[in-house]
C-alpha cells in the first residue's frame, strides 16, 4: 500500500491558503485519502532553516504548496525594499532546501506578476520573466520572487526535483489583509469604503484610478493551485489569471466596491499619490490551452462576497 499523500500549504491561514482549504473541504470524499496541512505562523518561522526543518520533520509532507511570503501593497513595497528582499529570499531558500532534503515529490511555489519587466510588450507571458528589471517600486519583492524560478530550475537540473512555479495576477477574497496602508488594492478599498460609510466622508482613492489590473478571486485561484499540483507536469512557470478582456481600471474597481457595499458618497482621486505600474497585462493562453473549460466567478459577485466577509468579520479581520 502506498504512503499517504500529505500536502503542506505554507501561508495556510492567508488569503490563498484559506481559499485552498475551503476548496478541499468542498471536494469531500474525492480527497478523503489525503492529509492537508495548513501552516500558521505559530508553527514556526520560515525565515529560520532550523525551524523550517522542524516543521518538515513534524508533518512529513509528500507535496508542498508554497504561498508564505512577506507581502504588502505599493507603499509598503516602496518603503521596505530591504526587508521584502531578504525575508523572502530566506523563506524561499529554506522551503526549497527542505523540500529537497525531505524528498518532497512536488513543490508548487507562488510568484507574482510584479516579477515581470517594467519595460515590456503586452500581453506578458511565461517566457518573459527574466527579460529586464521589474518596476522600481517593488524591486526588492520582485527579485526575491524571481529567484524561486531560478532556484527551482537549479534543483531540478542538479537533483531532479519536481519544483514548479505559478504566477497569479492580483488576488482578492475572504481572509485577505485589509490594512489601510499595507494591503493590496481591493481589500484596502473595501476597508476605506467601510470607513467612509461609518464616518460619512468621501472615499479617497490614492492615484489617478487609471492603472489597469487583472484580478483573480481567491476561491477560483485555489482550484487552479490544486489543478497545478495534480495535473501540471511542466517545470516552467504558468500564469494563473483571468482573461485579458477582464482587465479593469482601479477606478472601475472602486465603483464596483462602492456598489457592492451600497456606498452613496463621493469618490475622490488623490492624484498627488503614486499610481505604481500602469499595467501588467498577462496572457493566460498557456492556462487556457491546458484547462480549456475553466470558468471564473464574475467580479461583481466575488467583490460582494469579499466585502460582506470583511463586514461580518470586522472585529477579527487582519487590518
Catalytic residues: 141
Print burial letters for 177-186: b (CB count within 10 Å at least 16), e (below 16): bbbeebbbbb
Cis peptide leading into residue 245 (ω within 30°): no
Strand pairing class (212-213; 170-172)? unpaired
For helices 139-159 and 81-101, angle between their N-to-C axes, nearest 10 degrees: 20
Residue 10, number of CB atoms within 10 A of its CB: 28
Print burial letters for 263-273: b (CB count within 10 Å at least 16), e (below 16): beeebebeeee
The Cα–Cα gap between 90 and 69 comes to: 10
Residue 29, number of CB atoms within 10 A of its CB: 6
Print burial letters for 298-317: b (CB count within 10 Å at least 16), e (below 16): ebeebbbbbbebbeeeeeeb
* Torsion sign (Cα): 73, 74, 79, 81: positive
Helices (H), 33-167: 49-59, 74-79, 81-101, 139-159
SS (H, E, C) 191-244: HHHHHHHHHCCCEEEECCCCCEECEEEHHHHHHHHHHHHHHCCCCCCEEECCCH
Amino acid at each position: 500500500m502506498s504512503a499517504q499523500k500529505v500536502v503542506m500549504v505554507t501561508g495556510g491561514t492567508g488569503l490563498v491558503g484559506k481559499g485552498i482549504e475551503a476548496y478541499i473541504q468542498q471536494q469531500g470524499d474525492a480527497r478523503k485519502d489525503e492529509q492537508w496541512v495548513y501552516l500558521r505562523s505559530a508553527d514556526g518561522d520560515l525565515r529560520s532553516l532550523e525551524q523550517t526543518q522542524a516543521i518538515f520533520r513534524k508533518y512529513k509532507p509528500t507535496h508542498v504548496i508554497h504561498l508564505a511570503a512577506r507581502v504588502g501593497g505599493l507603499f509598503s513595497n516602496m518603503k521596505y525594499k530591504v526587508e521584502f528582499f531578504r525575508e523572502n529570499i530566506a523563506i524561499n531558500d529554506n522551503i526549497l532546501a527542505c523540500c529537497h532534503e525531505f524528498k518532497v515529490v512536488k513543490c508548487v511555489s507562488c510568484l507574482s506578476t510584479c516579477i515581470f519587466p517594467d519595460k515590456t510588450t503586452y500581453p506578458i507571458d511565461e517566457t518573459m520573466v527574466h527579460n529586464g528589471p521589474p518596476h522600481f517600486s517593488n524591486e526588492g519583492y520582485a527579485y526575491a520572487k524571481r529567484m524561486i524560478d531560478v532556484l527551482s530550475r537549479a534543483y531540478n537540473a542538479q537533483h531532479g526535483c519536481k519544483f514548479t512555479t505559478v504566477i497569479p495576477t492580483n488576488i482578492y477574497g475572504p481572509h485577505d489583509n485589509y490594512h489601510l496602508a499595507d494591503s493590496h488594492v481591493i481589500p484596502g478599498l473595501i476597508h476605506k469604503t467601510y470607513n467612509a460609510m461609518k464616518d460619512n466622508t468621501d472615499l479617497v482613492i490614492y492615484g489617478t484610478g487609471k492603472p489597469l489590473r487583472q484580478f483573480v478571486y481567491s476561491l477560483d485561484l485555489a482550484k487552479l493551485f490544486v489543478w497545478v499540483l495534480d495535473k501540471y507536469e511542466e517545470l516552467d512557470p504558468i500564469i494563473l489569471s483571468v482573461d485579458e478582456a477582464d482587465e479593469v481600471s482601479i477606478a472601475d474597481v472602486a465603483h464596483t466596491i462602492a456598489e457592492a457595499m451600497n456606498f452613496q458618497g463621493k469618490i475622490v482621486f488623490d492624484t498627488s499619490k503614486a499610481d505604481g505600474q500602469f499595467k501588467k497585462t498577462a496572457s493566460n493562453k498557456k492556462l487556457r490551452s491546458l484547462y480549456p473549460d475553466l470558468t471564473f466567478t464574475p467580479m461583481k459577485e466575488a467583490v460582494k462576497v469579499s466585502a460582506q466577509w470583511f463586514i461580518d468579520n470586522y472585529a477579527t479581520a487582519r487590518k
